[in-house]
Amino acid sequence: MPGPPRELVERLYGLPPDRFVAARDEAVAEARRAGDRAAARQIAGLRRPTVAAWLVNLLALRRPELVADLVELSGALRSAQRELRGPRLRELSGQRRAVVAALVAEVRKLAAAEGAPAGKLPLAEVEATLNAALSDADVAEQVRSGRLLRAASYAGFGEVPRPQLRLVTGGEEEEPAVDGGTRAGQAVPERGTGAGAGGGTRADREAVGGSTRADREAAGRGTRAEREAAARAEREAARAERAAAAERAERARQRRALERELAKARTALDRAGDELTDATTTERESAEALADIEAELAELERRRAAAEQELSRAKLARRGAERGVAAARRRAGEVEGALEELAAEEGTDGDRADRAD
């Protein structure tokens, strides 16, 4: 699965560490808004570097040609160490110090251009990381990638100066013979001193023979000492190599364990991100539903107030009508009473007229 866009990664790892997290989270949010959850997970997995690692990343991103020279020099150093070339190793070691010093100076300039305070830069950690890159191919590649997360240091034998070893045999150490097998520097008896064809007296010959044996024994002891020194150096180198291999294996084991933990953490982060998205969507929908209900309640309140006003007016009208009915009833009773009185008077007058007739 392809990783995050290279331009985004370079932009993030070129930022100071105190701005890294905010920029990464914004990139994650943009990927989620675009509906690309895989990219969001990958971007969220990018981790903030330390200040020292950021400075090394800045060097790799801004001046890649200098870091390429560093990687090339690291390869030459390791080749000289493997081949036990002492003079070449000393020459490259001088170059190493000069290159690291120049790179640290360049880091200081780049940091100043980014506004980093010069007095608080961890330049010692930067220098240790560059030295580690010169001794360890893995560190060199991490430095070259521009995605270093923390400073590095080298604990193996790396650029430990080792002697120029050479296996020497006894014959190689002997000087060329002179005058019938006599070694250079040995006394040669003068001829004609009574030794005849054998040359010299018996004492002289014994003295010469004894000196030759002593020289051979001394040469043999020197040869053995050199072989023992070479063997010791080889054993030390092998021991250091085994220690370095064990350390690399331990680092690889730790890296695998951390990668497993990182995968779990990313899975949990992705799950939590999905839950957060779902919860945010539910919250928004609930808020919208509540707003709709509140709007409906407001409308109902308005209608209730209008109905209450209408009810009040109806009550007033009813009371007015009741008063009108009561008044009309009283008037009707009064009229009925008057009619009854009138009818009674008319009946009385008729009786009188009848009696008068």
Backbone phi, psi, residue 182, to 5°: -80, 135
Element housing 13 (H / E) = helix 6-13
Identify any residues that bridge with 183 across adjacent strands, giving them in sequence order: 177
- Given pLDDT bands bounded at 50, 70 and 90, which one contains residue 197? very low
Q: Confirm whether 348 is domain-assigned.
A: no
Q: Is the pLDDT of residue 338 over 50?
A: yes
In a domain, 127, yes or no: yes
pLDDT at 158 over 60: no
The number of folded domains in the chain is: 1
In a domain, 109, yes or no: yes
Can you tell me the mean pLDDT for 253-264? 76
pLDDT in tens, 92-145: 777 788 889 999 999 999 999 988 887 889 999 999 999 998 888 888 888 999
Which of the two residues, 24 and 97, has the higher pLDDT score? 24
- Candidates 166, 140, 169; CA nearest to 78 is 140
Q: Cα Rg for the chain, rounded, in angstroms?
A: 55
- Return all residues near 273 (Cβ < 8 A) that are at least 6 apart: 32, 37, 40, 41, 44
3-class secondary structure for 227-287? HHHHHHHHHHHHHHHHHHHHHHHHHHHHHHHHHHHHHHHHHHHHHHHHHHHHHHHHHHHHH
- The mean pLDDT of the chain is 75
pLDDT band of 18, cuts 50, 70, 90:
very high
Q: What's the pLDDT band for 272 if we cut at 50, 70, 90?
A: low
Q: Which amino acid is at 151?
A: A
Identity at 56, one-letter amino acid code: V
For 86, the domain range is: 49-163
Q: Look at residue 241 in the predicted model and tell me its pLDDT.
A: 75
Decide if 140 contacts 70 (C-beta within 8 A): yes
Q: What Å distances lie between residue 45 and 26, 38, 265, 271, 350, CA to CA? A: 13, 11, 9, 13, 124
Q: Which range (62-71, 81-90, 179-188, 274-283) has the least confidence? A: 179-188
Residue 204, pLDDT score: 46
pLDDT greater than 50 at residue 40: yes
Q: Is 97 within the bounds of a domain?
A: yes
**Can you tell me which residue has the tokens 């928004």?**
284
62 falls within a domain: yes
Weakest-pLDDT range from 166-180, 208-222, 227-241, 313-327? 166-180
pTM: 0.43
Question: Does residue 199 register a pLDDT over 50?
Answer: no
Give the integer Cα–Cα distance in Å for 185 and 171.
17
Residue bearing the bigger pLDDT, 101 or 81 = 101
The Cα–Cα gap between 126 and 185 comes to 58
- Burial class (CB within 10 angstroms; exposed 0-12, middle 13-18, buried 19+) of 288: exposed
CA torsion, points 101, 105, 111, 113, in degrees to nearest 10? -160
Residue 82 lies in a domain: yes
Contact 266, 260 (CB under 8 A): no
Residue 72: its pLDDT value, please? 84
Query: 39 lies in a domain?
Result: no
CA distances from 37 to 262, 272, 277, 281, 343 (A): 18, 13, 11, 16, 105
Mean pLDDT value across residues 85-91: 67
CA 2 to each of CA 5, 42, 145, 273: distance values in angstroms, whole numbers, following the listed order: 8, 9, 16, 21
What pLDDT is attached to residue 161? 35
Of 68, 80, 58, which Cα lies nearest the Cα of 133? 68
Q: 67: which residues sit within 8 A by CB, 6+ positions away?
A: 59, 60, 103, 143, 144
Proportion of the chain above pLDDT 90, given as a percent:
28
Q: In this model, does residue 311 exceed pLDDT 70?
A: yes
- Does any domain span residue 148? yes
Pick the more confident residue, 311 or 166: 311
